[in-house]
Amino acid sequence: MLSGHLNLISLATWLSLLSLTRAYGINFKETGGYFNFSNIRYGEAPIGNLRFRAPVEPSSQDECLITNGSEGRVCPQSAGNWSIIAREFAQSYVAGLPFNYDLAISLLPDSPAAVSYDGRTTEDCLFLDVIAPQSSFNRNVSDLPVLIWVYGGGYSSGEKTGNGKFNPAGLLAASGGEPGFIFVAMNYRLGAFGWLGGDEVGADGTVNSALYDQRLAFQWVQKYIHLFGGNKDRVTVMGASAGAGSIMHHITSFGGAKEAPAFNQAIMFSPAFAPAPTDYIPTVTLDDLMQMLNVSSLHELRSLPSDTLIAANALQIYSHAPYGSNMYGPSLDGSFVPALPGQLLANGSFHKNISIMVSHNTLEGLTFTKPTIKTSEDYLNMFRQSLPTISNQTLSFISDALYPAVFNGTYGYKDQFQRALATIQDLAIICNTRYLADAMSDRAYGIQFAVPPGIHGQETSYVFQNGLTSGVTTSVADSLQSYIVGFVMNSVPTDVDGSPIPLYGPAAQLMRMASSGSTVIKDDTANARCSWWQQGLYA
Strands (E), 371-516: 444-449, 509-514
Q: What share of the chain is helix, strand, coil (3-state, %, to 5)?
A: 40, 15, 45
Q: What is residue 33's predicted lDDT score, i.e. its pLDDT? A: 76
Between CA 109 and CA 84 the distance in angstroms is: 10
The one-letter amino acid code at 225 reads I
Q: Count of CB atoms within 10 A of residue 464's CB?
A: 22
Strands 127-133 and 182-186: antiparallel
Q: 450 vs 5, which has greater pLDDT?
A: 450
Between CA 421 and CA 426 the distance in angstroms is: 9
Q: Rounded to the nearest 5 degrees, what angle is found at the Cα of 190, between the Cα atoms of 184 and 192? A: 160
Q: Are 264 and 354 in contact (CB under 8 A)?
A: yes
Q: Are 123 and 45 in contact (CB under 8 A)?
A: yes
Between CA 53 and CA 150 the distance in angstroms is: 20
C-alpha pair distances (Å), 446 with each of 165, 286, 407, 483, 534:
24, 37, 30, 11, 18
Between CA 82 and CA 80 the distance in angstroms is: 5
Mean pLDDT value across residues 462-476: 89
Strands 230-240 and 182-186: unpaired
Q: 32 vs 339, which has greater pLDDT?
A: 339
CA R_g for the chain:
23
Please name the fold of domain 3-534.
Answer: Rossmann fold (3.40.50)
Mean pLDDT value across residues 171-183: 85
Task: Encode pLDDT of 372-427 as tens digits.
Answer: 999 999 999 999 999 999 999 999 999 999 999 999 999 999 999 999 999 999 99
For residue 468, what pLDDT band results from cuts at 50, 70 and 90? confident
| Domain ranges for the chain | 3-534
Q: What is residue 343's predicted lDDT score, i.e. its pLDDT? A: 98
For residue 110, what pLDDT band results from cuts at 50, 70 and 90? confident
Global pTM value: 0.94
Strands 144-150 and 230-240: parallel
Task: Encode pLDDT of 308-333 as tens digits.
Answer: 999 999 999 999 999 999 999 999 99
Strands (E), 194-311: 230-240, 265-269
> Residue 63: exposed, middle, or buried by beta-carbon count in 10 A (0-12, 13-18, 19+)?
exposed
SS3 assignment for 312-355: HHHHHHHHHCCCCCCCCCCCCCCCCCCCCHHHHHHHCCCCCCCE
Percent of the chain clearing pLDDT 70 (strictly above) = 90
Q: Which residues are catalytic?
A: 241, 364
467: left (phi over 0), alpha (psi -120 to 50) or beta: left
Task: Encode pLDDT of 288-305 as tens digits.
Answer: 999 999 999 999 999 999
Percent of the chain clearing pLDDT 90 (strictly above) = 82
